[in-house]
Chains A and B, each alone.
Chain A
């Protein structure tokens, strides 16, 4: 794509984002298209209503959480660079290629991916998944299929499994340990189209 580098200039902070997130110019262009599409009023930033306009998201049990993850704490809007930075978590990890100027811990590293997943639970950002937070997620995901007390015992059991220091909550370290065997790269990456 010869034209991509020239049109990258249209993308705000294009070069810097490429460096930072590892997305190619074509990726960024495409994402910018999408961003502009979501940003119906051309405000240059997205608000949660813009996200909610995506029809499929309303069917997603944890859609709200994902949307929430785009917003930095205390902020009402998302600009393009933070939009891309969040999406960068979902890039597949490169095995052997090391980008020049890549940070030591890029957004698509295992650690960062996990951190992202962890924050989906940890809504109050106290660094722990409490029983109540876990229960909320479970409730959202299992819905009406399971009765409340079954949910509770599932939550109890899940916490019991992961909880190493017995504080009845899952810290990030415990979370990471409990998912040690899971191929995070596999499970938390999507293919971004160019």
Chain B
């Protein structure tokens, strides 16, 4: 904590030394600086100043930056004390830190200079949190539970607002609060601002107790959706208060109800439109991948502001924006951009969450807002808790009669207890109009108390409660293919059963939506290349393979044998030599290769599932057959090399190479390069490149060994080269299968011998040499995977599949690993092709 304290001290020192024009009003995170003291410390010297201290010049942004830093440092200190955060949620600790900071400022300034103002909160802190939750929203889960969420968000919130307002009013009439000037409408207004469960507080607390997903989505979804209700209720009652009790007639009430639908659905619609806009935009950002992620932030923010401008529900808007576009941008954008969006959103969201809680704490240390009224405050707390529970129980009871899987009593308790209020309520309370509501300060202080109580007390007790009640926790998500396959089978089965038995249920609707989505939305919003990769099952497969690939890399690095480096150098040397020797000699080939490379780099934009597919394929086989341990070894070498070479080639001018840190991309690049090398050598041996290209394309198909199973075999052969092929495959807009095959024809060096069997003769000795140097890596690997499409190897293939070796043999493989790369496969290859 010491570090952050020094920061604060520094900050305060500065604020004391500050030279202020008295009339000037400043903002720190648009906090008003009404009161400033201190004297000038600026150099008022004449002549040319060498150094001048211009605090004024930088003050507002400087203070903002410092506060952000302080909050972050606070979080850092809090998170460093892990034993504390296991008992007390971070949000509560941050509020306490706020108390502390606020106390210091108060001690120094005798006035609370820094407060959380509604403008800052609603315009600069809230949007990113909601956008993040929308973007990360598990859509299927959300829509499956939509009914329940909506019931709680709409009816539940209205219930909370009405009962709280009415009960407080009743108690007031009964004389429980002494002499305060609050009418029925004002009570209802107060009730409506306190009614809504706060998304920020809920995320903060529930993220740390991992309750089951249905329970989480119920509370969280409610907290997001009830914003529409709160805003409407607040606005309606605000209007009623200013109209005065007499002027309210049925017409106004009907208008209020209509405005609810307009605000909620209008807000969602705005979000939806912006979501579509983002998706559309990301379809064509291929050339500006660097700022691609920016669109999501900017348009998301605009969605928020637009809704706010139209006095619609801004939270709903930005949330739906995130939910709509997530799927499309994730597939449209480059994988790196997706990562950027994800992490940047997390940074923003988490950052503002931190700041919000710190400032919620700071805001409390202000004498001017505190009005204590024991009856009012305690009764409010009591009613909030009680009515929340009653609301949840009643509504869930109703819902459970229609739910397939009813919500258990224990879950209901947590739902009720999870009704945390937060900064939204505080922001709304500060927005109250002091001229019309005399007891504004009482309302603010009560709101603060409620927020502190719910966030700190309920937050702390949530975890023990969850443990004590044995609430079903979220299962650790472990990706497993069979599960995914099975889930898909279940989905389809349920749809079929609903069709057969003539039920129109969830699955039916979902199926209809999915069909619509696949037919129209995807067509409209997705890049053609991205459409293919949409499949969920396939994605899981891809992720699993990524994991595998990463493990190989780690393993390879851990073993860290030196021959990697040696090979690396050899390879690079070869490439250099080749370039030098033949840049002039074979200008057309070099020229021909340039587009290839360009194609490759353009292609890197797409996360290429097939790359890791190949890895995996090799993995499987490597695991299953003893002699293929070499492939395994080679694979590691391969991956490792990709990484080394990457570093080796670091250069400022080649941004396109350096920018991808991503392992997969590197692996891919590496492979592309080795392909290129073989390509060159292949070309060297035979006829001019262009004719070859066409030639291979035509010739290759008829040469497949077994006509009947051709598609299968050619499948395997593009498997073999698809690291390279996929480049052309993704670039081109043909249906994938076709382009794969074509790609194999163009770039597949191994086919050169097929075209011109005498080619080896033509390879100059130096080149043969060079090829030998490369061979430990690329060709032998190729040879490994070549197995399947030679008919003679088919039986081996099947035996290899039934072989009992399995995943755990990674370690074994390492132990018995023969260091030198395998001659036999290479031999294979020669047999086949030369």
Complex Cα gap A30–B498 (Å): 13
From B405, B481, B507, name the one whose CB has the most chain A CB atoms within 10 angstroms.
B481
User: Chain B residues with Cβ under 8 A from A163's Cβ?
Assistant: 806
Stretch of B50-58, B533-541, B576-584, B593-601 at the chain-chain interface = B533-541
Cβ-neighbour of B497 out of A87, A121, A158, A187 (below 8 A): A87
Chain A residues 161 to 194 lying within 8 A of chain B, measured CB to CB, are 161-163, 166, 168, 170, 175, 178-179, 181-182, 185-193
1/0 per residue, CB under 8 A from B, across A68-80: the answer is: 0010000000000
Complex Cα gap A62–B490 (Å): 10
Complex Cα gap A181–B486 (Å): 12
Contacts A59-B515, A149-B719 given; does A141 touch B537 at CB 8 Å? yes
A13 within 8 A of B: no
User: Chain A residues with Cβ under 8 A from B804's Cβ?
Assistant: 166
User: Chain B residues with Cβ under 8 A from A148's Cβ?
Assistant: 711-712, 715
* Size class of the A contact interface (CB-based, 8 Å): 35 or more
Cβ-neighbour of B806 out of A70, A92, A166, A192 (below 8 A): A166
1/0 per residue, CB under 8 A from B, across A91-128: the answer is: 01001000000000000000000000100110000000
User: Chain A residues with Cβ under 8 A from B544's Cβ?
Assistant: 157
Decide: B404 and A57 in contact? CB cutoff 8 A. no
User: Chain A residues with Cβ under 8 A from B311's Cβ?
Assistant: none
Complex Cα gap A120–B716 (Å): 28
User: Chain A residues with Cβ under 8 A from B537's Cβ?
Assistant: 141-142, 154
Residue of chain B at shortest CB distance from A193: B503
Shortest C-beta distance, A162 to chain B (Å), equals: 5
Cβ-neighbour of A179 out of B483, B534, B715 (below 8 A): B483
A56 within 8 A of B: yes
User: Chain B residues with Cβ under 8 A from A120's Cβ?
Assistant: 489, 493
Decide: B716 and A185 in contact? CB cutoff 8 A. no
Chain B residues 480 to 518 lying within 8 A of chain A, measured CB to CB, are 480-483, 485-490, 492-507, 511, 515
Shortest C-beta distance, A133 to chain B (Å), equals: 12
Residue of chain B at shortest CB distance from A162: B482
Shortest C-beta distance, A34 to chain B (Å), equals: 4
B737 within 8 A of A: yes
1/0 per residue, CB under 8 A from A, across B392-410: the answer is: 0000000000101110000
Decide: B490 and A160 in contact? CB cutoff 8 A. no
Complex Cα gap A191–B498 (Å): 9
User: Chain B residues with Cβ under 8 A from A1's Cβ?
Assistant: none
B270 within 8 A of A: no
Complex Cα gap A53–B485 (Å): 27
Residue of chain A at shortest CB distance from B487: A187
Cβ-neighbour of A131 out of B475, B511, B801 (below 8 A): B801
A9 within 8 A of B: no
Contacts A181-B478, A192-B501 given; does A66 touch B493 at CB 8 Å? yes
Decide: A60 and B495 in contact? CB cutoff 8 A. yes
Shortest C-beta distance, B146 to chain A (Å), equals: 15
Shortest C-beta distance, A183 to chain B (Å), equals: 8
Decide: A186 and B405 in contact? CB cutoff 8 A. yes
A20 within 8 A of B: no
Shortest C-beta distance, B477 to chain A (Å), equals: 9
Complex Cα gap A185–B736 (Å): 38
Shortest C-beta distance, B347 to chain A (Å), equals: 32
User: Chain B residues with Cβ under 8 A from A70's Cβ?
Assistant: 500
User: Chain B residues with Cβ under 8 A from A145's Cβ?
Assistant: 532, 534-535, 538
Decide: A137 and B485 in contact? CB cutoff 8 A. yes
A153 within 8 A of B: yes
User: Chain B residues with Cβ under 8 A from A56's Cβ?
Assistant: 495, 499, 511
Contacts A90-B494, A147-B740, A178-B483 given; does A192 touch B503 at CB 8 Å? yes
1/0 per residue, CB under 8 A from B, across A31-49: the answer is: 1011001100000000000
Complex Cα gap A95–B407 (Å): 12
User: Chain A residues with Cβ under 8 A from B538's Cβ?
Assistant: 142, 145-146, 150, 154
User: Chain B residues with Cβ under 8 A from A162's Cβ?
Assistant: 482
Cβ-neighbour of A157 out of B481, B506, B716 (below 8 A): B481
User: Chain B residues with Cβ under 8 A from A34's Cβ?
Assistant: 500-502
Decide: B502 and A149 in contact? CB cutoff 8 A. no
User: Chain B residues with Cβ under 8 A from A178's Cβ?
Assistant: 480, 482-483, 486
Number of A-B contacts (CB under 8 A): 172
User: Chain B residues with Cβ under 8 A from A146's Cβ?
Assistant: 535, 538
Complex Cα gap A156–B505 (Å): 35
Complex Cα gap A95–B505 (Å): 21
Residue of chain B at shortest CB distance from A141: B488
Cβ-neighbour of B807 out of A60, A95, A160, A191 (below 8 A): A160
B132 within 8 A of A: no
Shortest C-beta distance, A58 to chain B (Å), equals: 10
From B501, B532, B712, name the one whose CB has the most chain A CB atoms within 10 angstroms.
B501
Decide: B502 and A156 in contact? CB cutoff 8 A. no
Complex Cα gap A142–B540 (Å): 13
User: Chain A residues with Cβ under 8 A from B534's Cβ?
Assistant: 145
Decide: B620 and A153 in contact? CB cutoff 8 A. yes
B670 within 8 A of A: no
A26 within 8 A of B: no
Complex Cα gap A34–B500 (Å): 8
Complex Cα gap A153–B613 (Å): 8
A138 within 8 A of B: yes
User: Chain A residues with Cβ under 8 A from B613's Cβ?
Assistant: 149-150, 153
Decide: A185 and B495 in contact? CB cutoff 8 A. no
Residue of chain A at shortest CB distance from B502: A34
B802 within 8 A of A: yes
Decide: A62 and B487 in contact? CB cutoff 8 A. no
Contacts A54-B500, A154-B541, A186-B405 given; does A62 touch B492 at CB 8 Å? yes
Complex Cα gap A59–B613 (Å): 29
User: Chain B residues with Cβ under 8 A from A67's Cβ?
Assistant: 496, 500
Complex Cα gap A137–B481 (Å): 13
User: Chain A residues with Cβ under 8 A from B506's Cβ?
Assistant: 190-191
Contacts A154-B481, A156-B801 given; does A57 touch B500 at CB 8 Å? yes
B700 within 8 A of A: no
Chain B residues 711 to 733 lying within 8 A of chain A, measured CB to CB, are 711-712, 715-716, 718-719
Contacts A66-B500, A166-B804 given; does A188 touch B480 at CB 8 Å? no
Cβ-neighbour of A160 out of B532, B610, B620 (below 8 A): B620
Decide: A190 and B498 in contact? CB cutoff 8 A. yes
Residues on A lying within 8 angstroms of B by beta carbon are 30-31, 33-34, 37-38, 51, 54, 56-57, 59-63, 66-67, 70, 87, 90, 92, 95, 117, 120-121, 131, 134, 137-138, 141-142, 144-150, 153-154, 156-158, 160-163, 166, 168, 170, 175, 178-179, 181-182, 185-193
Residues on B lying within 8 angstroms of A by beta carbon are 402, 404-406, 475, 478, 480-483, 485-490, 492-507, 511, 515, 532, 534-535, 537-538, 541, 544, 609-610, 613, 616-617, 620, 711-712, 715-716, 718-719, 735-737, 740, 801-802, 804, 806-807
Q: What are 17 of the A-B contact pairs (CB < 8 Å)?
A: A34-B501, A56-B495, A56-B511, A63-B492, A66-B493, A141-B492, A145-B538, A147-B737, A149-B613, A150-B610, A158-B482, A161-B481, A181-B478, A185-B405, A187-B487, A190-B506, A193-B505
Across chains A and B, which 6 residue pairs bring their CB atoms closest together, nearest first? A66-B496, A166-B804, A149-B719, A148-B715, A34-B502, A158-B481
Known pairs A146-B538, A161-B481, A187-B494; list 12 more (Cβ under 8 Å). A33-B502, A56-B499, A62-B492, A70-B500, A87-B497, A92-B404, A147-B719, A157-B616, A163-B806, A182-B486, A190-B505, A191-B506
